[in-house]
Amino acid sequence: MHVSDLQRIRYTYSPKLPPAIAGKITTIDVQKGGPTESVADQDALKEVFAHSYGQPIVELIEGATEHEAPKRVIGAILSGGQAPGGHNVIAGLFDALKAANPASTLLGFRGGPSGLLENRAMEITSKLIDTYRNTGGFDIIGSGRTKIESAEDFAQAAKVCRELQLDGLIVIGGDDSNTNAALLAEYFRSEGVATKVIGVPKTIDGDLRNEYIEASFGFDTATKTYSELIGNIGRDAASARKYWHFIRLMGRSASHIALECALQTHPNVCIVSEEVEAKSWTLHDVVEQICDSVRARAAKGMNFGIVLVPEGLIEFIPEIKKLITSLNDLLAHEADAFGRLESDGDRVSFVSQRLSDDLKATFSSLPAGIQSQLLDDRDPHGNVQVSRIETEKMLIEMVEAQLKQDAGTGVYKGKFSGLAHFFGYEGRCAFPSNFDADYCYSLGYTAFLLLASDLTGYIASIRNISRPAGEWKAGGIPLTMLMNMEQRHGSRKPVIRKALVELDGAPFREFASKRDSWKVETSFSSPGAIQYFGPPEVCDQPTLTLKLERS
């Protein structure tokens, strides 16, 4: 790829580290707390993780004596979707490994977890890592979504780790990937495999976090990237004064991205999926939330605005969630007959005849394009691919239909013209902000120190990150502490619990206190582009979500 001037300059940026680990690496010690418990299902998880359940939280501290630093071989995996800062995790890992012992080796498994199973390892050298420091993307080794699930998979992973004589394996990923890391750590212990396993919290969706994992990396950069675009659209809307912009944002399981972008840009409407579910809003209720704003602004002569929609909204609307579940079951059982149908009309008719009366009414109320998407796009398990459903276009069509009814009764006298946008891939590989560059480098550095401390089954944790990096604290959290049991593919399995938007949390309460005003007034805020050079209050600030949660 062509190297831009900005990229060339960013190569030279020196990320900041928490003070406890910024000194001589071979003197850093581990301070352990007491035994821990999982967030739920303790008895079941004790059985699954017989060798690793209950480990203590650890903090990395400055030690007084120097430790031996043997030559090590460590492997790294990038797993799942891209997130800004992944290259800096690997850079931090590489620098820590070499600072401890220059003879040590870092291997990267190409293509994600499948690269481990197929032993597609490559050495990460100083020359290679220097061309990726502080840059976006996962292209240094690539990523993948393969899950290590079967007994054969675990045995093959152990075989490769033994062949390569890996002292440690770093899994950089989201909740599913880190669940895999926990299971690998447990399996390796039970089978006497020497390889230690450490996870790193990655996902722009922000749904891998809790009291101890204060943020997943990439969320900061992605939301700032989206907010710049939304802010630009706000300026345009206020200038042109003729369009309603409906913007769908990434966030399949949680609305953290939409909420953070709303706090930064002040849209007229932001739908929060968790509120929709908690209040059992129907699709009509969601449409009415938007129409209320359109009508109120039209009464003031403002026929323009901005609506933010989380990617996973449709699954949080109870009636649509029930419909999707029924469609998944129906099309799984009648896949052959359905597969022989050629036209959209035949498919819609086939499904409508087999739905219950209430679900048939729900299905019929949807725009034709959305009906087709619910039937066409299915994942390898036969389920609807919700992330591909163009919810923003559905809402535009349904709002327009409702406003036409309102115009007929004289309730609405404005002009409505909707434009649809989806902001997703624009943020996943952006140049990391200074915050993410520092945070990710610190996570990689910490992951090595946890391995060097003979720990396994942990996830790297940097705490106090709403403060300047000079006040950050580095350590590790047992992965089992983040887990519960959930129904997956017909059986109860251990998984890391997703962090959804908390309606009694400070970020949502701040949003709720402002949204009635935003609904009517033009209060758009334009945060501008991410800044890399300048005063810390401009360049190094974390998200508003993090500030509010930790204030």
User: What are 528's two structure tokens?
Assistant: 């501008």
Q: What's the pTM?
A: 0.95
Q: How far apart (Å, rounded) are the C-alpha atoms in residues 373 and 386?
A: 9
Residue 305 CA to residue 142 CA, distance in Å, equals 39
Strands 168-173 and 73-78: parallel
Contact 184, 171 (CB under 8 A): yes
Instruction: Please choose, from the candidates 380, 377, 381, 400, the residue with its C-alpha nearest in 3D space to the C-alpha of residue 390.
Output: 377
**Rounded CA gap, 230 and 335, in Å?**
41
User: Among the options 153, 176, 205, 406, which is catalytic?
Assistant: 205
What pLDDT is stored for residue 382 in this prediction? 64
Residue with tokens 């080794």: 141
CA nearest 177: which of 249, 114, 261? 114
What token pair was written down for 543? 């998200």
Q: Are 68 and 452 in contact (CB under 8 A)?
A: no
How many degrees, rounded to 5, is the angle at CA 216 between CA 210 and CA 221? 140
Whether 205 is catalytic: yes
* 96, 440 contact by CB (below 8 A): no
Residue 201 main-chain phi, psi, to 5 deg: -80, 110
Q: What pLDDT score was predicted for residue 379?
A: 66
List Cβ neighbours of 48 (8 Å cut-off, separation of 6 or more). 186, 494
- Helix (H) / strand (E) element for 134: namely none
In sequence order, what DSSP letters do the residues of 126-154 get, joined into one string?
HHHHTTTTT--SSTTT--------SHHHH
Q: Please give the structure tokens belonging to residue 424.
A: 């997703």
Burial class (CB in 10 A: 0-12, 13-18, 19+), 22: middle
Domains of the chain, start order: 33-218+432-488 (3.40.50.450), 222-311+390-424+498-551 (3.40.50.460), 315-388 (1.10.10.480)
pLDDT at residue 225 in the model: 98
pLDDT along the chain (551 residues), means of 10: 87 96 96 96 97 98 92 98 97 98 98 98 98 96 94 98 98 96 98 98 95 96 98 98 97 94 98 97 96 98 98 93 90 87 90 93 91 78 76 96 95 96 95 98 98 98 97 98 87 93 98 98 97 94 97 85
Helices marked H in 191-255? 219-240
